[in-house]
């Protein structure tokens, strides 16, 4: 449930960013005059949507990464020294600690079982599809939650329509690095300009 929420926020920030970008391109091409809209209003709206999409995308990914570490430590399968505190039972997702096949509450037989989509990693561990997607895409962890083996993202996302989330995640990482390093870069360039007398 937690990863479904963060995946929803990730997709929402993705849609906001794309909508802002489309509105900006729409305005730059002059198509806003067809609808009788002022270019400053359209451009401001596009920049605002793009900014909020990227901002909440970065914030959501960082918060999901923190939650991922806390959840993994609480469950007990993941520790920083590499030795898990407890053993993963068969038929249990290591991310959410729920059974992979859940029975309907009113029935006692296995025929009425509701099976969620699962995904098997190259290491052999099986997870709910949304759990492992949240762990890899939103939580930025490219390892198995149980054994820490590297997850092959190209094999995991075979369809081309599933890969924009990976590219968007990489864009959010670059923006976070830019925001983090920008004050140092500006200070270095200003110091260099002052040192060389290029003010």
Q: Decide which of 98 and 138 is more confident.
A: 98
**The pLDDT of residue 25:** 93
Q: Decide which of 118 and 29 is more confident.
A: 29
**The pLDDT of residue 173:** 74
**The pLDDT of residue 49:** 93
Residues 84 and 41: their CA atoms lie apart, in Å, by 55
**The pLDDT of residue 11:** 82
pLDDT, the chain, mean: 74
Please check the confidence at residue 162 and state whether its pLDDT lies above 80.
no
Most confident of 10-24, 88-102, 121-135, 176-190: 10-24
- Would you tell me how many other CB atoms lie within 10 Å of the CB of residue 16? 20
| Residue/partner pairs of 181-190 with CB below 8 Å, 24 or more apart | none
Residues 99 and 43: their CA atoms lie apart, in Å, by 49
* Confidence (pTM): 0.53
Least confident of 66-70, 114-118, 154-158, 162-166: 162-166
């Amino acid at each position: 449930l937690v990863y479904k929420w963060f995946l929803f926020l990730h997709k929402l920030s993705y849609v906001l960013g794309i909508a802002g970008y489309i509105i900006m391109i729409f305005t730059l091409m002059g198509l806003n005059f067809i609808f009788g809209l002022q270019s400053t209003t359209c451009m401001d709206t596009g920049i605002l949507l793009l900014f909020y999409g990227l901002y909440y995308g970065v914030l959501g990914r960082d918060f999901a990464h923190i939650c991922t570490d806390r959840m993994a430590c609480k469950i007990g399968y993941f520790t920083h020294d590499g030795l898990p505190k407890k053993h993963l039972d068969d038929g249990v997702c290591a991310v959410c600690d729920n059974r992979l096949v859940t029975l309907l509450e009113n029935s006692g037989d296995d025929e009425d079982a509701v099976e969620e989509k699962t995904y098997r990693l190259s290491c052999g561990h099986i997870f709910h599809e949304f759990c492992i997607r949240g762990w890899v895409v939103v939580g930025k962890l490219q390892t198995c939650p149980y054994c820490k083996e590297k997850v092959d993202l190209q094999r995991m996302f075979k369809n081309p329509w599933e890969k924009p989330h990976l590219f968007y995640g990489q864009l959010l990482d670059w923006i976070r690095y830019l925001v983090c390093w920008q004050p140092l870069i500006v200070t270095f360039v200003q110091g260099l300009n002052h040192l060389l007398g290029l003010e």
